[in-house]
Structure 1
Amino acid sequence: MTMEQNEIDELLKGIDLNDKSDSNLDPVEDENLGWDDVQEELMQSQAPPKKVEVSPVNFDEMPSAPSVDAQLNLDFILDIPLTLSVELGRCQMLISELLQLGQGSIIELAKLAGEPMDVYVNQRLIARGEVVVVNEKFGIRLTDIVSQAERVKKLR
């Protein structure tokens, strides 16, 4: 197959022969190029792109979680420290009232005497109980454990 001069001119239209910025062009290599090489390059550039085989994705159902016994092995969390606190009651006061407090002052709480005390774990209410004295120390006897439903309601 021979090329006409106008076909060669068409090929060279977009090429600036004075541009030396292309590092892929080696002058020695350019001298060794033949018409067969040019025609081969032309054919490769005009060839349709290679088709890529694409297979459909198969999204199988994930296996269900392994069944867990009713008695969980929770040994790994037994050493986590928690803060347990018991609240006798609450009140609000002004800073001026707070500054007037001294030794022997009495602070009136919102709870009545004999009302159950609130037991918190990490600032979350988990139970209520009554104050007891054990070996001359105060303690609390739990009388009511807050249900999970109540705890979830308080999270909102």
Structure 2
Amino acid sequence: MSEDTLLLDDDLLLDDDLFGGETETVASPAETQAKPVRDMQFFSHLPVQVSLELASAELSLGELMAMGEGDIVALDRMVGEPLDLRVNGTLLGRGEVVEVNGRYGVRLLEVEASKLSTAGN
């Protein structure tokens, strides 16, 4: 690898606000209370993967290979318990399945407040 292809720290100019980074300077108490509100409108159009997790089970590979048609896998949830709603693999909340005009949907029953409260910071 030649010296021309190496990047130095001075070669990278990154905007701390773009990544939500903090500076290493110590702020006064007045500065820490008055954080500017960031405009998150840009992020509202980014696609995310939303999935519903009904329940799960842990099986050995041997148990899985021995299964046949008609066998039942016992899941870790009871009938009627809410589903987990995951966004990009992270738990956002819980809900229940509903049917609207012939399509399945989810009604949110609870939302992980900590996940949403930090989204705008």
TM-score range, shorter chain: 0.5 to 0.7
What CA deviation, in whole Å up to 9, does each residue of 1:80-106 have, x standing for no partner?
Answer: 221111110011111122113344443
Match of 2:108 in 1: 142
Match of 1:77 in 2: 43
Matched, 1:127 2:93: yes
CA distance in 1, matches of 2:73, 2:104: 20
Identity %: 32
Structure 2: which 5+ runs fail to align?
Answer: 1-26
Q: Cα distance 1:107–1:67, how it changes in 2: closer, same or farther (>3 A)?
A: closer
> How many residues were matched structurally?
87
Q: Cα distance 1:126–1:67, how it changes in 2: closer, same or farther (>3 A)?
A: closer
Match of 1:68 in 2: 36
Q: Cα distance 1:98–1:80, how it changes in 2: closer, same or farther (>3 A)?
A: same
What CA deviation, in whole Å up to 9, does each residue of 1:95-145 have, x standing for no partner?
Answer: 122113344443221100000111111111111111112223322110111
Give the alignment's TM-score, normalised by structure 2. 0.58
Superposed CA RMSD? 3.0
Match of 1:95 in 2: 61
Please list every run of at least 4 consecutive aligned residues from structure 1 whose deviation after the TM superposition is greater than 4 angstroms: 64-67
CA distance in 1, matches of 2:68, 2:98: 28
CA distance in 2, matches of 1:135, 1:99: 39
Structure 1: which 5+ runs fail to align?
Answer: 1-60
| Structure with greater proportional strand content | 2
Match of 2:52 in 1: 86
Of structures 1 and 2, the one scoring higher in RCO (CA 8 A, sep 6+) is 2
CA distance in 1, matches of 2:45, 2:68: 40
CA distance in 1, matches of 2:65, 2:46: 39
SS of 1:143's equivalent in the other structure is strand
Amino acid at match of 2:81: E
Give the alignment's TM-score, normalised by structure 1. 0.46
SS of 1:78's equivalent in the other structure is helix
Match of 1:110 in 2: 76
